[in-house]
Structure 1
Amino acid sequence: MSLKVNRIDSANATAEVIISQEKLDKKLQEVIKSAGKNLKIDGFRKGHVPVAAIKARYGKQLEEDTQKECIQDILKEILEILKVEPSLLVGDPKITKFNPTKEGLELELKIGLTPSIPLDNLEECIPPVNIPEVSDKDIEAKIEEIATARAPLISIEDGRRKLKDGEYAKIDFEGFIDDKPFEGGKAENYLLKIGSKSFIEGFEEQLIGMKKEEERAIEVTFPENYQAKNLAGKLATFKVKLHEIQTQGKIEVDDNFAKTLLPEEKEANVEMLKEKVKAQLQAQKKHEIYNNELKVALVENLNKMIVFDLPQTIVEQEMDLLLRNAFASLSKEEQEKLVKDEQMLKAKREEQRENAQKSVKITFIIDAIAKRENINIPDNEVINAVYYEAMAMRQNPQEILEYYKNNNLLPAVKMAMLEDRVLMNLLDKKA
């Protein structure tokens, strides 16, 4: 056997290998012997199947298994030459040349290795963290909003009183398209807040000015992207009758109100409520600034300021993944055009390189920081996250979880959660 290993950098190596036919034959015998212990072929007792019968039935598979085992053996030798622990091997080697000959098998391999991640300048990568203080005005406005939301609705008895924006209308309505009623377009005693934008655009606005027991026909056009395809883009007429106008009552913000909001606090009062609301608003502000500004800036800094070699086998895999995602987003016509043009397909793949490099790099950095800071995401936390997301989307959590498992998506969810926690941790320390 001939073996030549070339260390390109800290994360990449190549190897040129010639496996002799003698070595392949010897390994084949080992594979056959191992397989024969468990094989069962009609006419022979288990474990007593002749070699010739095994070769006749499983020849091609045995040959492939032999080649795979030889490559695994060679890989161990390569890692020994490189003086690298097997645990530092990243992914499977990429076979760039596979040439069976009469003398044996010629191979060329690309090998990816886990790089060393320098974190000495990590502190410099973290952008300044300035969370604005919550003002007394913000606190009072939030408490007023809570009080208003909890206040009872009061019916307006004056029949001459007109419906205003922000008030509640109890209505009957029925929708028609081309003078024909459509499914789901009818309701009775429906309570609608004017200005909530919970109905089709233009519906609520046309109710303003109606009086109690008044009837009105209004026209609206369903959006082109409306979920019910049979209604999308259609002009509809709604016959509406207003039964009642309701307006929001008032709740006095006092210690009793605070006690209803803080039942677990024995000494609850308005001042304590203000402190709780202040903490909540402060957390919201932090969350918004972290997610809208600082996390993005931090990731960009990590990508630019922490320099190390990337295993190209992993970058190439990420490029393939990004290409598949980009391909799936194209129209059928664009997909067909791309498949027919090899050069265009290669160019499209090459477009993904920069993003692939960044994705792989950030993944390595996040993993290194997580290990240093002893940050981890337990599996049950990942499952809970999938469950909550499914419930928020009104989907069956068990079905979604099975889908994630069957499509091997849970590691990606876990990595996303780990990245979020690491970034939050870095920003919190800076703050």
Structure 2
Amino acid sequence: MQVTETLNEGLKRGYAITVTAAELEAKVNEKLVEAQPEIEMKGFRKGKVPMALLKKQFGQRVLGESMQEAIDGAMNEHFEKSGDRPALQPEVKMTNEDWKEGDDVNVEMTYEALPEVPEVDLTAISVEKLVVKAEDEAVDEALKSLAETAQEFEDKDGAAEDGDQVVIDFVGKVDGEAFEGGAAEDYPLGLGSGSFIPGFEEQLVGVKAGEEKAVEVKFPEEYGAENLAGKDAVFDVTVKAVKAPKAAEIDDELAKKFGADDLEALKGQIRERLEAEYAGAARQVMKRAVLDALDGMVSFDLPPSLVKAEADQIAHQLWHEEHPEVHDHNHDTIEPTEEHTKLAERRVRLGLLLAELGQKAEVEVTQAEMSQAIMNQARQYPGQERAFFEYVQQNAQMQQQLRAPIFEDKVIDHIAESATVAEKEVSKEDLQKAVEALDEE
């Protein structure tokens, strides 16, 4: 077997691989000899079928397997000896298309090698870690929001206003006929909640307890029930009560509704939650600072194929963000701009650097961390969690998508351990500005 270099330009590599006919025949014979003891054929005892007959019967199939194994073996041996790591799956094709049994097999292999990533002095990195304390004002604001979610309604005199609750009986009719699911009794409806068909709640503003009203609406064209979609309907409504909202008192009783022993304990829980949210946002700001520092410390050749793939993905994603009405991919090819390519180069460069740093530091994503990530993702599909778990288990690409950000965060933690990280206490507003600046860059 011969492997001859044909291209060595930047990170591009090309090799001509020759598997001689003699080597191929030897591999075929080896596989047939290995299988011979288990083969049965009419007229022969098990394991006693002549080799010539085996070759005639199974030779073509074994030849194809042997050819593929020989080429794969040559490629693996090459990568072991050269130390090259292909950026993407190597492109392999036979160059003697008129090949026939008894000829040598000539194959051309081309790929882009991953570059050598230079050493980085992590101790030279210096970043700030923003720290925000949960002020009493923020805690009180959160308490007020909790009280609003726990609000109750009490009977009121007079007309219903937006934000009030009306208790109603209703019967919906289309073309004078009541339809299934269109009636209810003692239904508490919050005016302004948007929970009913568009236009329904607005027509109840101003009603009083004891009144009857015919509410005329039109079902949306995209309504879930096909027999009602786009249809005009009339709801005969009887108003049984009008109630005004009453915010819950901010006291120990409110705290107990939310699982706390008393008001002070609830305030403590809120403070912890707020500061955890602040810490998460501050981490994103620090992470960007670390990446910016790394980006300014290294420079090396990048595999063009990786940069192009990343630039294509960036351009495609941004196009869909600008055209949210398009939900499929049946559109013209989106050509990356120079700005997209520049951003792609940064992402590829930092991705390769973080991968190298993580490998050297023996950073690993544990099974427990993966399980937690899958659970978090599965919550987006209520009722289908099991199906999502099974989908992830069978999809290596999806597993990698979930593993990559965990790995990256752990590498960032590793870098921060060596870097100089200075804590800086700032206001919530300053942190918000720093987070917003991330999206602007």
Tell me the TM-score normalized by structure 1: 0.73
Give the whole-Å Cα distance in 1 for the aligned partners of 2:221 and 2:126.
44
After superposition, the Cα gap between the structure-2 partners of 1:34 and 1:139, relative to the gap in structure 1 and judged at 3 Å, is same
The answer (yes or no) to whether the contact 1:129–1:427 under 8 Å persists in 2 is no
The match for 1:277 is 270
The match for 1:404 is 392
Give the whole-Å Cα distance in 2 for the aligned partners of 1:358 and 1:290.
20
Quote the offset at 1:108 in angstroms: 0.9
Give the whole-Å Cα distance in 2 for the aligned partners of 1:72 and 1:252.
73
Match among 198, 216, 219 for residue 216 of structure 2: 219
The match for 1:164 is 161
Are 1:195 and 2:198 an aligned pair?
A: no
Q: Could you say what secondary structure the match of 2:96 adopts?
A: strand
After superposition, the Cα gap between the structure-2 partners of 1:310 and 1:177, relative to the gap in structure 1 and judged at 3 Å, is farther
**Alignment deviations for residues 302-348 of structure 1 (CA, whole Å, 9 cap, x no partner):** 778754445567778889999999999334xx6xxx8xxxxxxxx77
Give the whole-Å Cα distance in 2 for the aligned partners of 1:76 and 1:427.
33
After superposition, the Cα gap between the structure-2 partners of 1:371 and 1:47, relative to the gap in structure 1 and judged at 3 Å, is same
Are 1:93 and 2:90 an aligned pair?
A: yes
Quote the offset at 1:360 in angstroms: 5.8
> For residues 12-411 of structure 1, what are the structure 2 equivalents within 5 Å?
12-41=12-41, 44-79=44-79, 81-82=81-82, 84=83, 88=85, 92-100=89-97, 101=99, 103-111=103-111, 113-118=113-118, 120=120, 130=130, 133-151=133-151, 153-156=152-155, 158=156, 160-254=157-251, 257-258=254-255, 261=258, 263=260, 270=264, 272-287=265-280, 307-310=299-302, 329-331=328-330, 354=341, 363-371=351-359, 375-411=363-399
Give the counterpart letter for 1:67 in structure 2: M
Give the counterpart letter for 1:386 in structure 2: I
Quote the offset at 1:378 in angstroms: 2.6
Percent identity (aligned): 25
Give the counterpart letter for 1:283 in structure 2: A
After superposition, the Cα gap between the structure-2 partners of 1:232 and 1:418, relative to the gap in structure 1 and judged at 3 Å, is farther
Give the counterpart letter for 1:155 in structure 2: E
The answer (yes or no) to whether the contact 1:94–1:111 under 8 Å persists in 2 is yes
Give the counterpart letter for 1:399 in structure 2: A
The answer (yes or no) to whether the contact 1:7–1:14 under 8 Å persists in 2 is yes
**Alignment deviations for residues 388-430 of structure 1 (CA, whole Å, 9 cap, x no partner):** 5445422332222223333445423432442573487489885
CA RMSD of aligned residues (A): 4.6
Give the whole-Å Cα distance in 1 for the aligned partners of 2:137 and 2:224.
41
Give the counterpart letter for 1:215 in structure 2: E
Quote the offset at 1:227 in angstroms: 4.2
Unaligned runs of 5+ in 2: 321-325, 424-441
Give the counterpart letter for 1:404 in structure 2: V
Unaligned runs of 5+ in 1: 339-346
After superposition, the Cα gap between the structure-2 partners of 1:140 and 1:357, relative to the gap in structure 1 and judged at 3 Å, is same
The answer (yes or no) to whether the contact 1:112–1:314 under 8 Å persists in 2 is no
Give the whole-Å Cα distance in 2 for the aligned partners of 1:389 and 1:222.
34
After superposition, the Cα gap between the structure-2 partners of 1:415 and 1:389, relative to the gap in structure 1 and judged at 3 Å, is closer
The answer (yes or no) to whether the contact 1:95–1:109 under 8 Å persists in 2 is yes
After superposition, the Cα gap between the structure-2 partners of 1:303 and 1:35, relative to the gap in structure 1 and judged at 3 Å, is farther
Moved more, 67-76 or 414-423: 414-423
Give the counterpart letter for 1:164 in structure 2: E
Give the counterpart letter for 1:402 in structure 2: E
